[in-house]
Structure 1
Amino acid sequence: MSTMNQKSRRFSTEFKAMVVAEYYSSALSMADLGRKYGILGSSTISKWVHKHESREGVSSLNTRTLSATMSGHTTKSKEELLAYIKELERSLELSQDKSIALEHFIRNAEKELGKPLPKKPFTNRSKS
Structure 2
Amino acid sequence: MEKTERKYVKRTQKDYSMSFKLSVVQEYETTKISLEALKRKYGIQGDSTIRRWIEKYGNFDMRNKSYNHMEKSKDQELFELQQKIKLLERKNARLEKELELKDMKAEFFDMMIDIAEKEYNIDIRKNSFPEQSVNIKKKNP
Question: What is the TM-score when the length of structure 2 is the normalising length?
Answer: 0.36
**Which structure has more RCO (C-alpha within 8 Å, separation ≥ 6)?**
1
Higher helix share: 1
